[in-house]
Structure 1
Amino acid sequence: MDFTGLIAYPVTPFAADGTVAVGALTGLVDGLAASRVDAITVLGSSGSFAYLDRSERSLVARTAIGAVGGRLPVAVGISSVGTREVLDAAVDAQEAGAAGLVLSPVSYVPLTDDEVLAQVRAVCAATDLPVCLYNNPGTTQFDYSLQVVAELAALPQVVAFKDTAADAATFNARHAELAPLVPGSFSHGVSGDLLMMTGEVAADAWHSGPAALLPDYYARLRAAVLGKDQREIDRVRHVLGPLVDHAAGLRKISGLHLLARACGVAAGDPRPPLLPSPGSELRELGRLLDVLESEFDDR
């Protein structure tokens, strides 16, 4: 797996009793495998990895990989507070048939460069799966320097970097600065849907939670960005942007579960202690979704 293209990060659906809704997850991932996304990653932030135990994470990975049936690469998020748990997740993912791993430097105490280097090296010693590093400083309080990324990119398994930035210009500058420091096949992808909605960030990959619910619209926008089709970029942004912007203004994870409901996906409520987003927001999400669908009813 090379972690390029449009990579969708689905929510983990929950049943009314709080357990993982295996049937809903199967349906969601099966639909994604038939869509225009290039790969799927389960157990990312969107997939509530932090609120699942080891057996549940293994269940999600096995269910998703089985539902896709080899039609698309399926990566598995292995982030956890402790390295022991990260390594357990890596081994479980490989046994489930994952095509790759996604790892962010999660810790109760923010990690140092040396600690991140040690953890990634430990993962690479425990598995031969390709690894995508994930820079999520707003959550982890660790911000990858490009020098650390370049050092880790020397490891054969580290093939990609899921990155973010304050704005499109900053991301594009980081992209240009990183390119000569890493192998030519290394994927530097963008995380942050509002960055994608600018229409100014192509990157090697788009990593997105909402794309798992709106895959064809995201694929349409990415194709326009790659093709430098400004007319189509503006057309898609005009109707997709407000929906993505509104969803981004809701509470993380909870907002995605509400967007899933608006899209007709039975994702249930997020797992406590997270509370559901206000039901009053559902009407506005539905309205914005209707506008989007009416613009592209030929899809």
Structure 2
Amino acid sequence: MPPLEFSPPETASVFRGLIAYPITPLLPSGAVDHEALGELVGRTVEAGVSAISVLATSGAGVTFSRTERQRVQETTMTAVAGAVPVYAAVTAASTRESENYARDAESAGLAGVLLAPFAYVPLTRDAVRALFAAVSDASALPICFYNKPAQLSFDVDGELLAELVAQARVRGIKEPSVRPGPAGQPPLARRMRELCSGTGPELAIGLSGDLGLLDHPPVVDAWHTGLAALLPEEYVRVWAERGALAVDNSPARDRLIALASALAAGSSPLGGLHAAARALGIGTADPRGPYLPATAREAAALEAVLAP
């Protein structure tokens, strides 16, 4: 099957390219290891990724206090040194927290924020409108709609997305790369066209989910991935080859698929990312609870995949 190709009329100015989502390394005490974070971000940027995004799912942003988040952003900006844009997730349990996080991101010099429609019960369309309007009013930064329908029981449609582009400074969407459809066929191209139909060239269409990205590499505005911060050289190579048939026989792609498959087979995706980081020589303790560490068997499987 050829790669999915879909492009809006023009390239968006933000939330485009290969966007790497590093873990937030921790010391054994549970505090953020800023030295390890700086090294991780620095080598990821040197490999040629397009942008860095912190404090999202891979970075376990919801487990950190506001002060800790501010310091993570400062460390990341120092490590990046202006080479690429830096984004941060601002999803929180309350609108007020998300507003504060967006202000902090703007003050730290970040290029944009990611926001998911999170709540302890599924949000209505009106509640999502209000949330994005509030965060847009709190900061002048562009917003990427972090769409997580399986986890949050809310799935944005093209009509609402067009409203948010026009009224709430939404300039990108991070969309899952695998969406079940008839007979197991993911109607991804149709979904991309639906989301872009009323938004115009301002919106960057991005996909996440490593197995979906790597299975049939899609040609869209952005790939959002945590593995690009663990194996950045390989991911940069696959991103560059995404529209070419040569990607079908890419050793870099094969290694990434093996890692993504091992992580998907584990019981704790975030615990697996931290175990994979250790296997690659990146010092970090396990993530904070409620996230569980990888089991010994899962860690051994990751080490086997990542062995030289």
TM-score by length of 1: 0.92
Amino acid of the structure 2 residue aligned with 1:220: R
Amino acid of the structure 1 residue aligned with 2:54: V
How far apart, CA to CA, are the structure 2 residues paired with 1:29 and 1:239? 21
Amino acid of the structure 2 residue aligned with 1:186: L
Cα offsets for 1:9-44 (capped at 9, x unmatched): 111111101111111111111111211210000000
Q: 1:235 aligns with which of 247, 250, 254?
A: 250
Paired residue secondary structure (1:132) = strand
Q: CA deviation at 1:201?
A: 1.8
In the other structure, the counterpart of 2:206 is 189
Residues 11 and 267, structure 1, Cα contact 8 Å, conserved in 2: no
Backbone CA RMSD of aligned residues: 1.6
How far apart, CA to CA, are the structure 2 residues paired with 1:260 and 1:111? 35
Q: 2:275 aligns with which of 258, 265, 282?
A: 258
Mapping for residues 1-299 of structure 1, pairs under 5 Å? 2-155=14-167, 157-164=169-176, 165-166=178-179, 169-225=186-242, 228-236=243-251, 237-250=253-266, 251-290=268-307
Cα offsets for 1:183-222 (capped at 9, x unmatched): 2131010011111011242221000111111111112112
Residues 9 and 47, structure 1, Cα contact 8 Å, conserved in 2: yes
Residues 157 and 194, structure 2, Cα contact 8 Å, conserved in 1: no
How far apart, CA to CA, are the structure 1 residues paired with 2:187 and 2:281? 36
Amino acid of the structure 2 residue aligned with 1:198: D
Cα offsets for 1:78-118 (capped at 9, x unmatched): 00010000001011111111111111111112111111111
Paired residue secondary structure (1:207) = strand
How far apart, CA to CA, are the structure 2 residues paired with 1:38 and 1:145? 27
How far apart, CA to CA, are the structure 2 residues paired with 1:128 and 1:160? 15
Consecutive unaligned residues of structure 1, counting only runs of 5 or more, are 294-299
Residues 221 and 233, structure 1, Cα contact 8 Å, conserved in 2: no
Report the identity percentage: 38
Cα offsets for 1:113-165 (capped at 9, x unmatched): 11111111111111111111100122222211222111111137211011114
Paired residue secondary structure (1:253) = helix
TM-score by length of 2: 0.89
Q: CA deviation at 1:182?
A: 1.0
Residues 262 and 286, structure 1, Cα contact 8 Å, conserved in 2: yes
CA 156–135 in structure 1, closer or farther in 2 if over 3 Å, else same: closer
CA 34–200 in structure 1, closer or farther in 2 if over 3 Å, else same: closer
Paired residue secondary structure (1:184) = helix
